[in-house]
Amino acid sequence: MFKPLATILSLIFVLFGCAAAFAETAFEREAAADRDARMAWFREAKFGIFIHWGLYSVPAGEWKEKKNYGEWIFEKAHIPMSEYEKFRDRLNPVKFDAAAWVALAKQAGMKYIVITSKHHDGFAMFDTKLTDWGIMSTPFRRDPLKELAAECKKAGLKFCVYYSIMDWHHPDYAPRRSWNDTAKGEPDMDRYVPFMKGQLKELVTNYGPLGILWFDGEWEKTWTHQRGKDLYAYVRGLQPDIIINNRVGKNRKGMKGISVGKEIVGDYGTPEQEIPADGLPPGVDWESCMTMNKYWGYNKYDHDWKSSTTMIRMLIDIVSKGGNYLLNVGPTAEGLIPGPSVERLREIGKWMKTNGESIYGASACPFPKAPAWGRITRKPGILYLHVFDWPKDGKLSLPLPDGKPTSAYLLADPKRSPLEITPQATGVEISLPSKAPDATASVVVLEIAEK
């Protein structure tokens, strides 16, 4: 090759290489204050709604006499892809109302929405120009993510998207399922990654700014630590203040959701269907995601609902351990959030309306052990005592090694009538009225002059 040209070319390569490496390390070396600023809304929000909505809502959990499927139906029932693709003509969610969904989440006290932009079946629930495997080629031909993003903006909720790395439909995703009978040629992850980056760019550009990019499906061997690091840097490069969960990388340890290892990729841990007994170590952000019944995606036979009491107490438990709660709904192929979910969200919202102050922006209980009667959350100078079991003798005792209590009242009491506080040898005793203001959880606000 002509020498000066070769020199110029190699210089360009070096410069590009440096830029990519710089982007990676710049995000890794983010100053603590910058990270705190980026995570601030998430730490304040505490409560979000997860929405699993996709093509799998058409079979609604049922395939050939079996009724125990959800969003994994293609994989679990080994549906030939040529058959699965036919659901596309039956997805027409004409009852979908973005404003109603957002209003419901807001009324429940939720501050952010995370919706499946693409689940493991690879089906895009947004207007992508990179494939026709998506909502725009259904009879619906509307872009629900666009409508939801606009409604979230109006309502002041953060709009966030879930995106699955694993993709059972894309011909380049490996390992390809043997019953994917429509994909041609050999899969090639090096071609798949640019496709994925293209879709992520569409998501960040056309629906952003996004609150969170919620990755999933990172567990197969073809996804590597290096690819995770690269993808993290790529998405932060698209929107520097975005938050990315730890499922972008490879160090998540099972359903506990915590990342372990020297080089952790992602901003927070994602326990699934569980609340870590002692939370996650101090300084680690986390969010427990959970279903209301059994499946994430809609299953019309799944009636195994948690009660609103259970879910409110879970939210309190999570916040008392320093985490966030991401509570799931699985809308139908008509575009409706199932009735039992709506009912429960309304009940949770009622509790939040009175007691939300003890949740938003609250941090973990300062004591190593939760009291027998409930849970504690805290803000500077305040302890919120969430009483699950109202004491029969009207005396609530609390160990208080540091700090002097100055006043106590019930959060449900608009008059803030003071409750009597009696100092004890190792703490305090608070006198309560005989009847609990809320059978699920009543909150006593204890103001303290902190040391």
Q: Is residue 309 within a helix (H) or strand (E), and if so which, with residue range?
A: helix 308-320
Give me the least distance between CB of 442 and ligand GLC, in Å please.
31
Minimal distance, residue 134 CB to ligand GLC, in Å: 18
Shortest gap between Cβ of 327 and ligand GLC (angstroms)?
12
For the bound state, the minimum distance from the C-beta of residue 214 to ligand GLC, rounded and expressed in Å, comes to 8
Q: Which is nearer to ligand GLC, 71 or 438 (CB)?
A: 71
Give the integer Cα–Cα distance in Å for 257 and 278: 13
Q: Closer CB to ligand GLC, residue 296 or residue 298? A: 296
> Which lies closer to ligand GLC via its Cβ, residue 15 or residue 255?
255
CB nearer ligand GLC, residue 302 or residue 438: 302
CB of 156 to ligand GLC, least distance (A): 25
Do 212 and 242 touch, CB atoms closer than 8 A? Answer: yes
Q: Which is nearer to ligand GLC, 298 or 388 (CB)?
A: 298
The residue among 70 and 356 lying less far from ligand GLC, judged by its C-beta, is 70
Rounded to whole angstroms, the Cα distance separating 161 from 156 reads: 16
Q: Report the residue number, 296 or 390, with the smaller CB distance to ligand GLC.
A: 296
- 427-431 and 395-399 as β-strands: parallel, antiparallel, unpaired? antiparallel
Shortest Å distance, C-beta 70 to ligand GLC: 7
- Tell me how far apart the alpha carbons of residues 241 and 209 are, in angstroms, rounded to a whole number: 9
Chain centroid to CA 56: how far?
20
d(CA 121, CA 54): 9
Q: Which is nearer to ligand GLC, 46 or 52 (CB)?
A: 52
Instruction: For residue 279, report the phi and psi dihedrals to the nearest 5 degrees.
Output: 70, -160
The CB-side HSE value for 161 (13 A sphere, CA atoms) comes to 27
**Cβ atoms within 10 Å, residue 82:** 11
Rounded to a whole number of angstroms, the minimum distance from the CB of residue 72 to ligand GLC is 6
Q: Which residues bind ligand GLC (CB under 6 A)?
A: 52, 71-72, 216, 272, 289, 296
Closest distance of CB 125 from ligand GLC, Å: 13
Q: Select 60 or 289, whichever has its Cβ closest to ligand GLC.
A: 289
Amino acid sitting at position 188: D
Which two tokens mark 270?
């994602």
Contact 388, 447 (CB under 8 A): no
CA distance to 54, 68, 69, 86, 371, per residue, from 59 (Å): 11, 11, 9, 11, 46
Tell me the two tokens of residue 114. Answer: 């995370």
For the CB of residue 211, give the shortest distance to ligand GLC in the complex, in Å: 17
CB of 127 to ligand GLC, least distance (A): 22
Cβ closer to ligand GLC: 72 or 367? 72
* Number of residues in the chain: 451
For the chain, the helix, strand and coil percentages under 3-state DSSP, each to the nearest 5: 35, 20, 45
- To the nearest whole angstrom, how small is the minimum distance from the Cβ of residue 359 to ligand GLC? 22
Q: Is 374 left (phi over 0), alpha (psi -120 to 50) or beta?
A: left
Cα–Cα distance measured from residue 91 to residue 123, given in angstroms and rounded to the nearest whole number = 12
Q: Which two tokens stand for residue 286?
A: 């986390």
For the chain, give the longest Cα–Cα distance. Answer: 92
* Cα separation, 198 vs 213, whole angstroms: 14
Q: Which is nearer to ligand GLC, 50 or 96 (CB)?
A: 50
Read off φ and ψ for residue 417, nearest 5 degrees: -60, 130
